[in-house]
Structure 1
Amino acid sequence: MKLKYLLVGSILLLLLISAGCGNKSAAGGEVFTAASAKNTDSKINVRMVKLLVEDQTDHEVEITEDLPASPQIFAGLERDEFDFAGLFSGEVYNNYFDEVEYSTDPEETLEQAQTYFGEEYDIKWYDPLGFVNNYSIAIPKEVAEDNNIETVSELGEYADVMDLGTDNAWIERDNDGYQEFQETYGYKFKDARGMDASLMYKGIENGDLDVVTAYTVDPQLKEYDLKVLEDDKQFFPPYEASIIATNSVLEEYPEVDEVVESLVNVVSTEEMTDLIYQVDIEGKNINEVTKQFLEEKDMID
Structure 2
Amino acid sequence: MGGRAVALITAIVVASVTSCGLQSASGTVLEAAPGTIQHYDSLEGVPVTVAAKDFTEQLILGNMLSIILAAAGADVTNMTNTPGSFGVRQAMLSGDANISPEYTGTGWINYLGNENPIKDPTAQWQAVNEADQANGLTWLPPAPMNNTYAFAIRESEAQRLGVTKLSDLATLDRSELTFCVESEFASRNDGFVPMLQTYDLSRDQLGQVITLDTGVIYTATANGDCNFGEVFTTDGRIPALDLRVLEDDRQFFPLYNLTEVIDTELLEAHPELAEIFGQLNPRLTNEVMLKLNAEVDNEGRDPALVARDWLIEEGLLSAPS
The CA deviation at 1:285 is 1.4
Quick one: structure 1 residues 145 and 235, their matched pair in 2 at CA, closer, same or farther if it must change by over 3 Å?
same
Once the two structures are superposed, residues 156-191 of structure 1 have per-residue CA deviations (whole angstroms, 9 ceiling, x without a partner) of 22262132111111111122x111012111114312
State the alpha-carbon separation in 2 of the partners of residues 242 and 149 from structure 1: 31
**Mapped contact 2:280–2:316 kept (Cα < 8 A):** no
Taking only the aligned residue pairs, the percentage that are identical comes to 23
Once the two structures are superposed, residues 128-177 of structure 1 have per-residue CA deviations (whole angstroms, 9 ceiling, x without a partner) of 122111000110111122332111011222262132111111111122x1
The CA deviation at 1:44 is 1.9
Structure 1 unaligned regions, length at least 5: 1-26
Structure 2 unaligned regions, length at least 5: 1-42
Q: Does 2:50 align with 1:34? A: yes
**Mapped contact 1:103–1:109 kept (Cα < 8 A):** yes
State the alpha-carbon separation in 2 of the partners of residues 53 and 203 from structure 1: 40
Q: 2:223 corresponds to which residue? A: 206
**Mapped contact 2:147–2:233 kept (Cα < 8 A):** yes
Amino acid at match of 1:217: T
Amino acid at match of 1:46: G
Q: Does 2:306 align with 1:293? A: no
Q: Could you tell me the TM-score, scaled by structure 1's length? A: 0.84
Three-state SS of the structure 1 residue aligned to 2:102 is: strand
State the alpha-carbon separation in 1 of the partners of residues 110 and 233 from structure 2: 23
Q: 1:139 corresponds to which residue? A: 153
Q: 1:219 aligns with which of 212, 215, 236?
A: 236
Q: 1:68 corresponds to which residue? A: 83
The CA deviation at 1:234 is 0.4
**Mapped contact 2:140–2:274 kept (Cα < 8 A):** no
Q: 1:51 corresponds to which residue? A: 67
Quick one: structure 1 residues 131 and 163, their matched pair in 2 at CA, closer, same or farther if it must change by over 3 Å?
same
The CA deviation at 1:39 is 2.2
Amino acid at match of 1:89: T
Q: 1:160 aligns with which of 171, 174, 188?
A: 174
Once the two structures are superposed, residues 184-208 of structure 1 have per-residue CA deviations (whole angstroms, 9 ceiling, x without a partner) of 1111431222211232122123221
Q: Does 2:144 align with 1:127? A: no
Q: 2:21 corresponds to which residue? A: none
Amino acid at match of 1:192: V
Residue-pair matches, total: 272
Matches within 5 A, 1:1-301: 29-56=45-72, 58-94=73-109, 96-97=111-112, 101-117=116-132, 119-158=133-172, 160-161=174-175, 162-175=177-190, 177-187=191-201, 188=203, 189-301=206-318
The CA deviation at 1:41 is 1.6
Structure exhibiting the larger radius of gyration computed from Cα positions:
1
Q: Which moved more, 1:144-153 or 1:226-235?
A: 144-153
Quick one: structure 1 residues 97 and 243, their matched pair in 2 at CA, closer, same or farther if it must change by over 3 Å?
closer
The CA deviation at 1:296 is 1.5
Amino acid at match of 1:74: R
Quick one: structure 1 residues 53 and 98, their matched pair in 2 at CA, closer, same or farther if it must change by over 3 Å?
closer
**Mapped contact 1:46–1:85 kept (Cα < 8 A):** yes
Q: 1:13 corresponds to which residue? A: none
State the alpha-carbon separation in 2 of the partners of residues 99 and 212 from structure 1: 27
Amino acid at match of 2:99: F
**Mapped contact 1:167–1:194 kept (Cα < 8 A):** yes
**Mapped contact 1:77–1:121 kept (Cα < 8 A):** no
State the alpha-carbon separation in 2 of the partners of residues 35 and 255 from structure 1: 20
Once the two structures are superposed, residues 65-88 of structure 1 have per-residue CA deviations (whole angstroms, 9 ceiling, x without a partner) of 333332222221221100100110
Three-state SS of the structure 2 residue aligned to 1:282 is: coil
Alignment root-mean-square deviation, CA: 2.0
